[in-house]
Amino acid sequence: MHKFAMGIAASALLMGLAGCKTETPKEDVVKPPVASAADLQRRIEKLASDEFEGRAPATPGGIAASQYIADEMNAAGLEPMGENGTYFQSVELVESKVLPSSKFQVMKDGASIMTSDLSTNSVYWTKRPDPSVTIDDSEMIFVGYGIVAPQYGRNDYEGLDVKGKTVVMLVNDPGFASQDPELFKGNTMTYYGRWTYKFEEAGKQGAAAAIVIHETAPASYPWEVVQGGWTGPQLDLVRPDGGASRTQMEGWFSYDTAASVLAAGGHDLEDLKKAAISSDFKPVTLDGVSLSARIDQTIETTKSRNVAGGVKGTKNPDEYVLYMAHWDHMGVNPDMIDDGIFNGAVDNATGTAAILEIGQAFVEQGAPERSAIFVAVTAEESGLLGSAYYGADPLVPLKDTVAGINIDAILPVGKTKDMIVIGYGSSELEDRLKDVLDPRGMYIVPDQKPEAGFFFRSDHISLAKLGVPMLYADGGVDHETKGKDYGLAFGDEYTAERYHKASDEYDNSWDLSGIEQTTEILFELGYDLANSEDWPNWYEKADFRSLRDEMRSGE
């Protein structure tokens, strides 16, 4: 029996009533258990152990980690929801690794002015699954933010033919740079500010190569995150077009490197940043500056897997509440002098442990009226690949998915008075969350760093952009006894010192009470929804409302 401890005597009494044979009015039955610190600790520590070698997809460590999750789902009483009666959904991937024989040179009038060391000053890769990709004497053009967004009156490529050329662009979007709330969404990053969009758009425009200029503030993470994330083996989904829709090469420049390259072309980076804010900005050719590069790489087609278990509903079994968390992390970097294992304790052993805990609670509380599916997805760190695969080939129909809850990286900050909703103001799930928090004396706060674009950086977006209402909520920062400054400082320290680094390891000194709290709240939210007939939607003016309405229109 799962070791749930009740928070207060009143809750214990209500839970006791819920377990009796006597019929109880529906609204009085469900009172959430408090998650077991012992089980959370056990699962987080195991997932973040060196045994799984950083949980990289399609590695022995990743295979072992996904098997562990399936075993835990089975032990918790969750039914297999994967393919062929298993807990697994196979995800076909391409793994590539840039070889030391690769070359990357920026030229000025035919003379080399910068050579990449593939770490300190730049990183680069290709989405083309070819052993070698070559770019010769490609003219370099600064295209501002590299955005085409008619609704914002913006087209940084207007009148420009970039076929065969290399585009260089800023990270984030003009709203962040200007802090003007009327420009884009002001300080809140839009999808157009994400590097994923910028590389995709450059490919649509026909560019040969696309390079994003890194800056810590608008990117929301230091250069070390870029170094750690884009060196070593890289994964992508097997693409039907063989990567033809992408540029031949994608990459990042460090700020100082970009400033030097632009100066060689006769331009000052700070001046160009200011000019690029305006929708009237025109692309700037870097006089006499070109890129010549050859990417030599290993190519291997491999498979990873999503892991899925569920609880069958008693009344409406064909309607599903979805919980999602990514189980993967960044594996091992053998070039690091010290411990090169990226254990990913916070990111995302915590979220994976939470959905296992919630799934077990669903079983122990008794099957709800609707079904619930718990999906631990792979390859999030490689670009939300596992969730994108799930969105394209869902294990249950998206139109029958009532809503989803994504859990990603719960900080061990302790209990808080608040809960953060990433992408606040998106869906009616926020109203339901408020109903759970109010009796606890807790409150919702929007994402503390909307400029970081976290709404576009976790797996919920893969389903959100297909129309499924998704909630990405996380523990707060207003610590119960130590206040907001403590919580904010805790988060800042994690981002600076541990996020996507080998130092993201489990520590027995962690305060798990906040992770328990978040797990309990998200259990209650989903269990209550699974015992209702409500179909929460996106808010009326949300970007994805029309997609959901169209999806449900045939019902």
The DSSP annotation for 369-399 comes to SEEEEEEEES-STTTSHHHHHHHHS-SS-GG
Q: Are residues 216 and 334 in the same domain?
A: no
Mark whether 75 and 129 lie in a shared domain. Answer: no
Pair (492, 537) in one structural domain: yes
| Nearest in space to 457 (alpha carbons), one of 394, 380, 391 | 380
Q: Exposure of 465 by Cβ count < 10 A (0-12 exposed, 13-18 middle, 19+ buried)?
A: middle
DSSP letter string, 90-126: EEEEEEEEE-TT-EEEEEETTEEEEE--SSSSEEEE-
Residues 164 and 231 in one domain: yes
Backbone angles phi, psi at 147, to 5 degrees: -115, 140
Total domains present in the chain:
3
CB 384 within 8 A of CB 492: no
Nearest to residue 25, comparing CAs of 535, 544, 370, 531?
A: 531
Pairing verdict, β 418-422 and 470-475:
antiparallel
214 plus 358 within the same structural domain: no
The boundaries of the domain holding residue 327 are 35-92+304-552
Q: Which of 390, 206, 184 is nearest to 305 (CA)?
A: 390
Give the separation between CA 505 and CA 519, rounded to whole angstroms.
Answer: 20
Peptide bond into 348 cis (omega under 30): yes
Residues 310 and 339 in one domain: yes
Q: Which residue has the tokens 């990417």?
A: 295
> Given the DSSP bridges, would you call strands 148-149 and 443-446 parallel, antiparallel or unpaired?
unpaired
CATH of residue 309's domain is 3.40.630.10
Shared-domain flag, residues 240 and 386: no
Q: What angle do CA 312, 396, 435 make, to 5 degrees?
A: 65
Q: Which residues of the chain are under the pLDDT cut of 70?
A: 1-34, 337-338, 555
Q: What would the two tokens of residue 348 be? A: 């995302």
- The whole-angstrom separation of Cα 172 and Cα 206 is 21
Strands, E assignment, 156-219: 166-170, 209-213
276 phi, psi to nearest 5 deg? -70, -15
Report how far Cα 344 is from the mean position of its chain's Cα atoms: 13
Q: Are residues 20 and 123 located together in one domain of the fold?
A: no
Distance CA 506, CA 45 (A): 6
Q: Is pTM, for the whole model, over 0.85?
A: no
Same-domain pairing of 158 and 197 = yes
pLDDT at residue 506, rounded to an integer: 97
> What is the CA 217 to chain-centroid distance, rounded?
19
**Do residues 225 and 122 touch, judged by C-beta distance below 8 A?**
no
Q: How far apart are CA 465 and CA 89, in angstroms?
A: 21
Last residue of a domain, one of 254, 269, 299: 299
Report how far residue 360's alpha carbon sits from residue 362's, in angstroms, rounded to the nearest whole number. 5
Same domain, 263 and 354: no
Same structural domain, 87 and 153: no
Tell me the H-state helices in 30-179: 37-47, 60-76, 174-178
| Residue 144's CATH number | 3.50.30.30
Verify that 503 and 520 share a domain, yes or no: yes
Given this model, what pLDDT does residue 454 score?
84
Q: Which residues contact 86 (CB under 8 A, 6 or more apart)?
A: 70, 80
The predicted pLDDT at position 337 comes to 64
Q: Is 113 exposed, middle or buried (0-12, 13-18, 19+ CB in 10 A)?
A: middle
- Residue 411: other Cβ atoms inside 10 A: 25
Its sign, for the CA torsion 145, 148, 149, 150, is: positive
Residue 234's DSSP bridge partners are: 96
Number of Cβ within 10 Å of residue 441's Cβ equals 7
293 has which bridge partners?
A: 104, 135
CA pair distance 347, 320, nearest whole angstrom: 26
